[in-house]
Every structure is written in structure tokens, then in C-alpha cells.
Amino acid sequence: MELFKVYPLADLRIAKANGSYLWDEDGIQYLDMYGGHAVISIGHTHPHYVKRIQDQLGQIGFWSNSVHIPIQDELARKLGTVSAKEQYQLFLVNSGAEANENALKLASFHTGRKRIVAFNHAFHGRTSLAVATTDNPKIVAPVNETDEVTFLPFNDEKALEKYFEKQGKETAAVILEAIQGVGGIRVANVSFMKKIRSLCDQYGALYIADEVQCGYGRSGHFYATDYAGVHADIYSMAKGMGNGFPIGAIAIAPYIKPALESLGTTFGGNPLACAAALAVLEVIEEEGLIEKAKSRGTYLMNRLKSIPEIENVRGLGLMIGFDVPEKLKTFAHICCVNILFSQVPQNLMWSGFCLH
């Protein structure tokens, strides 16, 4: 049997990893400034993370959500504290798309409405509803097409107001990445996020913050939405949550009440995944990684801004993007090999470049 070839592959065979470094099969060392697309949040093979998972595996790896799983409660408490959202409720899943799928579904259950607002260049995943809110026709299969989603220009408050005047009362949710990742590291304006919050309040729609890529401390805030000083009704997360162990979740505001059996999953919240997610939060707290993302991000951003050849350096914390002018087109390619996987030894954890 062969692999189904859907990924364009870089010619690199990674054999092992430690902290910020990777080694290929020939023993060549690389600085990992990519983190497997924003997944590695605490560094590779962190000893606390490895031990937590090993210990859990020796106890129990899986049992179903039809019984109490105490480590899920432990994770909910820890996430509530680290994210400063103690009153929120946690629903555990396995990936970012699944998190958004459930967030959108829950918004529809809660409001009894169907319409969704998403934004140009957004990426929310590849499952049915998640892909319907993703602005890339190439990955939307005919069966995923729907008229219920309206795409609006990013950071355009006037367009948002106009939409809500017309269709606000039919709208279940607005879904926004506070920093668009796949869309090219585009930061939402504070006033735009405040406008989403106030229009959602006015019309009874829910604000879904897709924090799958920009969340989990990468921006120098636990949720990137926090930098605007607004709260979302539902936060979706995945990538950095398990540092590579598959886990995702939605954090749900206390006024959204659960209906029995309305959401569910077999693997979501299994003890092994919870142990991985707990280890990540413990390391984030213990090692002050959110503060480090902020200070190192500022350092990196200033250094990048001092390079005259690159333009439009942007982002927050260690989620950084920049543009490369046409005359340096091959530079972008070289960066993909030599910066994202840099052979220059430095010690910069938590880098999240996205080159466009």
C-alpha cells in the first residue's frame, strides 16, 4: 500500500528532536522555527511532558466518555486557571477542525439559527462546517458548499455593521482568528474585535475565537483575543495544546448550557491526551513561556524590522510574518529550508514564522 499523496513534501527526513532542535537521518542539526505548523509549544521531547505521558500510559491510556475521567476535570481546572477563564466549560476533542466544527454546531444549537460570518483568508479546518467557513475554494468539496456562510473583508467594521443590519437576527456566530495564521499572519484590529463583540451582543449571536493556531501563549497572551481586551463566547484550540499529541477543545462561556448528548466523541478527552495537555500547561506556567513569547517576540520583531530588504514585519509575540519583495523571490524559498529549519544554532523557543 502507498500513502495517499496529498502533501507537497520538503526533502527532509526528521529522525529525532529535542527542545528547539531537530536532527535528520544524516545527523544534521536544525533549529526548528516552524514547530510543525505552530504545534510545538513547549519544545520537543520536554522531560516533564515525556514523563507525564509515560506515567499515564502505565496507568490507563483510554476509556470511554461514558464514565467519569478525573484527569479531564484536572485539565479543565488547570486550563481555566492558566487562561484566566475559570468559569468557562471544557469540551474535549481531537483536532482543530473538530473543535471548530463543534463550536459552530454549538452556536447553532444555542441560538437556534443557521447563519455564520467568517472572514476573507480565514482558515478553520477541513471538516464540513469548518471548511465551509474556510476561505479557500480548493479545499471545499461540493458536498461542503452552503449558502449559510457569509465571508466579509477582514478588519472591515463598516461591512460587518452592514451585514448585521440585514442579517444579524438570523446569525448564530461570527468566527474569527485574532491573528490569521494560514492567511499570512494578519492581526485583527482591536476596534474590529470590539465591534464583533458589541454586534454579537446586540443581535444575540456568539463570538467564536478560533485560537487553534494563534492561541496557547504564542502571541504573548494565552488567547490572542485577550490582547484586544474582549472575551469570546467560545474559544477553539488544538495545535499547541498537546505539543504534538492529538488533542483539541472548546472553552465555552458559562451562560451556554449543555444539552445531554448534543455533542460527543469517542477519543476526545482520553486520559493520555489529557496527560499530554496537562504537561503542556504545567510547563507553560512553570517556565513562564507566555512572557518569554512576548519578550523574545519583541526582540525578534525589532531585529527583523532592522533588515531593510524585508517588508511589513507584523504579528504579536512569536507569531510573526513578513513580506519579501519580488526581487528577492528566491529568498522566500531559501528561508523555508534555511530559516524555518535553520542550521544556525540559536536558542529561540516558540518561534512561529509563516512566510508568504
Ligand X SMILES: Cc1ncc(COP(=O)(O)O)c(C=O)c1O
Q: Which residues bind ligand X (CB under 6 A)?
A: 37, 95-97, 100, 123-125, 177, 181-182, 210, 212-213, 238
Helix (H) or strand (E) holding 107: helix 96-111
C-beta of 76 vs 238, nearer to ligand X = 238
C-beta of 181 vs 297, nearer to ligand X = 181
Neighbouring residues of 179: CB distance < 8 A, sequence distance ≥ 6: 185, 186, 187, 188, 213, 214, 219, 224, 315, 316, 319
In whole angstroms, how close is the CB of 172 to ligand X at the nearest point?
18
Query: ∠345-348-352 over CA atoms, to 5°?
Result: 115
C-beta of 56 vs 213, nearer to ligand X = 213
In whole angstroms, how close is the CB of 280 to ligand X at the nearest point?
15
**Three-class SS of residue 193?**
helix
In whole angstroms, how close is the CB of 17 to ligand X at the nearest point?
19
Reported for 136-142, long-range contacts at CB under 8 A and 24+ positions apart, including other chains, are: none
In whole angstroms, how close is the CB of 182 to ligand X at the nearest point?
5
Nearest residue relative to ligand X (C-beta): 96
In whole angstroms, how close is the CB of 27 to ligand X at the nearest point?
30
C-beta of 7 vs 255, nearer to ligand X = 7
C-beta of 168 vs 240, nearer to ligand X = 240
Q: C-alpha cell of 338?
A: 534555511
Q: C-alpha cell of 326?
A: 519580488
In whole angstroms, how close is the CB of 254 to ligand X at the nearest point?
24
DSSP string, 291-337: HHHHHHHHHHHHHHHT-TT-EEEEEETTEEEEE--GGGHHHHHHHHH
Strands 352-353 and 319-323: parallel
C-beta of 32 vs 177, nearer to ligand X = 177
Rounded Cα distance, 160 and 212, in Å: 23
